[in-house]
Structure 1
Amino acid sequence: MARDFTFTQLRYFAVVAQRRSVTAAAAELRVSQSALSSAVAQLEAAMGTTLFRRVPRRGVEPTDSGLRLLRESLPLLEAAEQLPARVRLDEQEPAGRLVVGVYEPVASLRLPGLVAEFTQRYPAVEVAVVEGDQEFVRQSLLSGGCEVALLYSMGLGSGLRTEVLEELAPHVIVGEGHRLAARAPGPVSLAELAEDPLVLLDLPHTREYLLGLFDVAGLTPRVRHRLTGYETVRSFVALEGYAVLNRRLPHGETHTRRRVVALELAERLPPVQVLLARAPDQRPTRRAVAFAEVCREALRV
């Protein structure tokens, strides 16, 4: 027979599971690490299974049992937080902590506005952001590190529940001194750039998508630089070559103060979709549902 457990133990467990660190969780909860570790140990005894494994130099991560408990406990904890309001028949607004994952190229342009709008509507929700490449954010979703995520439609496989928010057609950027810059806003053909040096955004899955566009066009690019930073790519292009990107910025400035120019592509090439994603067996909390609605309104296809 399972032993009793408390909502406090569940809440402590959920923060450790999302933070992947007892130290960080203790700081957020404003309790001692020993008290936090004791609560988790008591919860493990009540559940009759190990909930965390230690990861050298990184902290902790949930076991399979821990992941199942995290997914079940988030809606339960939210319902407990809302219980006093339900008893008083007060208007119930989402509250608590929401962890949002985001693919790096989406983050800088779209996420600040989304979080600002969401926070204005739901001030009782604390939004935390997990940013990284596609695979990192995908794994964060599957491992419970974030509850909802904004991703691109590449390299995701079939393990997530997704919906399309936005479609981004590929385009080209060149430096303002490039021979084709005067053609802005275009269109230009990839064939006109085939002999120029390509500055490639070399992130997992992104590079396969971008190089695949050249395959569709029957071309082989001359890759000069492989870079993982979106702004780094733009800064290099300001000096030489070109890049193919999807996220179009509203200005041509780079961090070097040199400018780039965006050009439409003449070829009809596959777009990238911006997706709202969550784990397949995750019951969404009210705060996650509310965040999804804000995203739909802002990024509707």
Structure 2
Amino acid sequence: MALDFTLVQLRYFQEVARRENMTEAAKQLNVTQSAISTAMAQLERTIGLDLFIRQRNRSVVLSPAGKRFLSEVTPFLEASDNLGETALGLSRRLSGDLTVGVFSPIAPTRLPLIHSEFEKRYPDVRINYLEANLQELQAAVIAGDCDLALTYTLGMTDRFDRFLIDVVKPHVLVSLDHHLGGGGKRPRPIHLRELADENYIQLDLPFSTQYYDELFRIAGVEPIVRHTFAGYETVRSFVAMGHGYSLLSQSVSSGTYIGSKTVDVPLLDDFPSIDLAIVWPKELRLSKRARAFCELTLEILGT
């Protein structure tokens, strides 16, 4: 006998399971909490299972039966979405909404190029962006605040699938007038220890800081941290003014907001590289819109 539950109930269930809180799920779905509670009670009554364990603080966690049910619901809803896209002809002309998270230092230099070309190719897709640090992006992707994220994979757990865009090597950033700046010519590659006695301008972002600290450890250098900033461009501006050097991964134009210039100096040290990738929750399958964004990003940024 067929069970009488609806796609709406299943989508509500998936959102509550993801956020472990009916109030937060209701906000995300733009419905009332009572609508969520009623739908979950009806769903549990229909299938004859307790899907959630209710907590005193109003949060919920999946019961063992709920976890098994979610593993079946997720691919079912994905198949439903694909059927809807096919029925609407979206396989030939993409449309709908797509929210992409972007690592803050990448956003101003990479994102405008991607967005411009994406809008030309897929004018019916409404694309929105969430700019954040690495830690915030991972939380946003898992919570469903964005469909996928363009980010470095530092600190990435096995909860994510990824689409590799590029492999990035770290470099030293110095001012144009620095003795290692090349004097207007291409600077020579150096070992990080050559800067051991100079002031270091630190980029202080979750996971990024730990990565650069590990590079210093590998090089056997104790950095002289003179200033610490969370702003990528603030770090670059302080370096451009000659206040110290920095370690960065992304290469951008030499110009800064204050007019002074910086120089990227290659490193000879055998340092680990960073993957630039687009990531999404492992249990979800990319929509055709998201897949198109991945492929276009690789086309524009990939090596």
TM-score, normalised via structure 2 length: 0.76
Which residues in structure 2 correspond to 1:37-116 (within 5 Å)? 37=33, 39-48=35-44, 68=70, 71-72=74-75, 75-76=78-79, 78-79=81-82, 81-82=84-85, 84-85=87-88, 92-116=92-116
Instruction: Say whether residues 1:259 and 2:260 are aligned partners.
Output: yes
Could you tell me which amino acid in structure 2 is paired with residue 229 of structure 1? G
Alignment partners' CA distance in 1, 2:144 and 2:266: 39
Q: Tell me how large the CA RMSD over aligned residues is.
A: 3.6
Contact 1:188–1:263 (CA<8 Å) still a contact in 2?
Answer: no
| Partner residue of 1:231 out of 230, 233, 238 | 233
Alignment partners' CA distance in 1, 2:122 and 2:159: 30
Alignment partners' CA distance in 1, 2:60 and 2:93: 29
Instruction: Say whether residues 1:246 and 2:242 are aligned partners.
Output: no
Instruction: Say whether residues 1:207 and 2:214 are aligned partners.
Output: no
Contact 1:5–1:42 (CA<8 Å) still a contact in 2?
Answer: no
Tell me which residue corresponds to 1:30: none
Alignment partners' CA distance in 2, 1:138 and 1:289: 19
- How much does 1:199 deviate? 0.6
Q: 1:22 to 1:242 in 2, by over 3 A?
A: same
The number of residue pairs the alignment matches comes to 283
Q: 1:158 to 1:110 in 2, by over 3 A?
A: same
Alignment partners' CA distance in 1, 2:163 and 2:295: 12
| Partner residue of 1:197 out of 199, 210, 227 | 199
Alignment partners' CA distance in 1, 2:13 and 2:110: 31
Query: Unpaired runs of 5+ in structure 2?
Result: 45-49
Tell me which residue corresponds to 1:294: 296
Contact 2:26–2:36 (CA<8 Å) still a contact in 1?
Answer: no
Alignment partners' CA distance in 2, 1:273 and 1:173: 20
Alignment partners' CA distance in 1, 2:279 and 2:254: 29
Contact 2:177–2:183 (CA<8 Å) still a contact in 1?
Answer: no
Tell me which residue corresponds to 2:47: none
Q: What percentage of aligned pairs have identical amino acids?
A: 28
Contact 2:170–2:247 (CA<8 Å) still a contact in 1?
Answer: yes
Contact 1:14–1:73 (CA<8 Å) still a contact in 2?
Answer: no
| Partner residue of 1:220 out of 198, 212, 222 | 222
| Partner-residue secondary structure (3-state), 1:136 | helix
- How much does 1:38 deviate? 5.3
Query: Unpaired runs of 5+ in structure 1?
Result: 27-32
Contact 1:154–1:205 (CA<8 Å) still a contact in 2?
Answer: yes
Q: 1:263 to 1:289 in 2, by over 3 A?
A: closer
